[in-house]
Amino acid sequence: MGEKFAKSHHALLSKGEESEMEIFGYKTQRCRKAMCIAGYILSCGALWLVFYWKPAWDVWANCTPCSLQEADVTLLRTTDEFQIYSWKKVTWISVSALNKFRSDYPITADENSIINKAIMKPDLKVRCIQVQKIRYIWNNPEQQFQKVGSLEDSHTCSAIHAKFGSGLRYEEQETRRLICGPNAIDIQVVPIWKLLIKEALNPFYVFQLFSVCLWFAEDYKEYAIAIVIVSLLSVALTVYDLRKQSMKLHRLVECHNGVRVTVGRKGEGFQELESRHLVPGDMLALPGGKALMPCDAILISGGCIVNEGMLTGESIPVTKTHLPQADDSRPWRTCCADDYKRHVLFCGTEVIQTKADGNGPARAVVLRTGFNTAKGELVRSILYPKPMNFKLYRDALRFLMCLIVLATIGMIYAVCVFALNGEEAGEVVKKALDVITIAVPPALPAALTTGIIYTQGRLKKRGIFCISPQRINVCGQLNLICFDKTGTLTEDGLDLWGVITLEGNSFQKVHSFTSGGSLPWGPMYGAMASCHSLIVLDGKIQGDPLDLKMFEATNWEIEDSCEDHVKNGDFPHAVVIKPGPKASSVPVEGIAILHQFPFSSALQRMSVIAQEIGGQQQVFMKGAPETVAKFCRPETVPPGFARELQLYAAQGFRVIGLAHKILQAGRQAAGLTREEVESDLTFLGLLIMENRLKAETKPVLEELSAARIRSVMVTGDNIQTAVTVARDAGMISQGSQVILVEANELSGSPSASITWKLLEESKPNGYSNLETYIQVGGRFSSEVGCSSYHFAMSGKSYQVITQHFSYLLPKLLINGTVFARMSPGQKSSLVEEFQKLDYFVGMCGDGANDCGALKMAHAGISLSEQEASVASPFTSRTPSIECVPELIRQGRAALVTSFCMFKYMALYSTIQYLGVLLLYWQLNSFGNYQFLFQDLAITTVIGITMSLNGAYPKLVPYRPPSQLISPPLLLSVVLNILFSLCMQVFGFVLVQKQPWYAQHNIYSACLNENKSHVENSSSAATISFPGMENAGARDGVDNGYKSYENTTVWFLSTINCLLVALVFSKGKPFRQPVYTNYIFVLVLAVQLGICVFFVFADIDGLYSRLDLVCTPTFWRLSMVIMLLVTFAVSFIVEEAVIENRALWMLLKKCLRYQSKSHYKRLQRMLEQDSAWPPLNETIFSESRGIPVEDTRVAYRNPVFESNEDML
The upper half-sphere exposure of residue 741, i.e. CA atoms within 13 Å in the direction of its Cβ, equals: 30
How many helical (H) and strand (E) elements, i.e. helices and strands, does the chain have? 40, 42
- CA–CA separation, 140 vs 148, rounded Å? 14
Chain-centroid distance of CA 1060 in Å reads 35
Sheet harboring 318-321: ordered strands across? 291-292, 350-355, 303-307, 318-321
Contact predicate 631/828, CB 8 Å: no
Give the contacts of 653 (CB within 8 A, at least 6 positions apart): 497, 688, 689, 690, 691, 721
> Phi, psi (5° rounding) for residue 347?
-60, 135
- CA–CA separation, 920 vs 417, rounded Å? 7
Q: For the CA atoms of the chain, what is the radius of gyration?
A: 37
- CA–CA separation, 780 vs 797, rounded Å? 21
- CB burial class (10 A; 0-12, 13-18, 19+) of residue 560? exposed
Tell me how far CA of residue 585 lies from CA of 556, 589, 863, in angstroms. 11, 10, 42
Give the number of other Cβ atoms within 10 Å of residue 42's Cβ. 10
Contact predicate 199/316, CB 8 Å: no
- CA–CA separation, 675 vs 745, rounded Å? 22
Contact predicate 889/951, CB 8 Å: yes
Task: Report the b/e string of 898-909 with b at 16+ CB within 10 A.
Answer: bbbbbbbbbbbb
Q: How many residues does the chain have?
A: 1207
Helix (H, G, I), strand (E, B) or coil at 381: helix
State the catalytic residue, choosing from 110, 296, 484, 547. 484
Give the contacts of 1086 (CB within 8 A, at least 6 positions apart): none
Give the contacts of 748 (CB within 8 A, at least 6 positions apart): none
- CA–CA separation, 946 vs 894, rounded Å? 12
Q: Which of 90, 107, 252, 91 is nearest to 172 (CA)?
A: 107
Give the number of other Cβ atoms within 10 Å of residue 1091's Cβ. 18
Contact predicate 298/283, CB 8 Å: no
- CA–CA separation, 333 vs 341, rounded Å? 9
* 484 assigned to active site: yes
- CA–CA separation, 75 vs 152, rounded Å? 26
Give the 3-state DSSP-derived string for 136-197, with helices as H, strands as E and coil as C.
EEEECCCCEEEECCECCCCCCHHHHHHHHCCCECHHHHHHHHHHHCCCCCCCCCCCHHHHHH
- CA–CA separation, 1063 vs 976, rounded Å? 10
DSSP state of 684: E
Chain-centroid distance of CA 388 in Å reads 9
Contact predicate 733/919, CB 8 Å: no
Residue type, 155: H
- CA–CA separation, 976 vs 1131, rounded Å? 10
Give the number of other Cβ atoms within 10 Å of residue 974's Cβ. 10
- Catalytic sites, residue numbers: 484
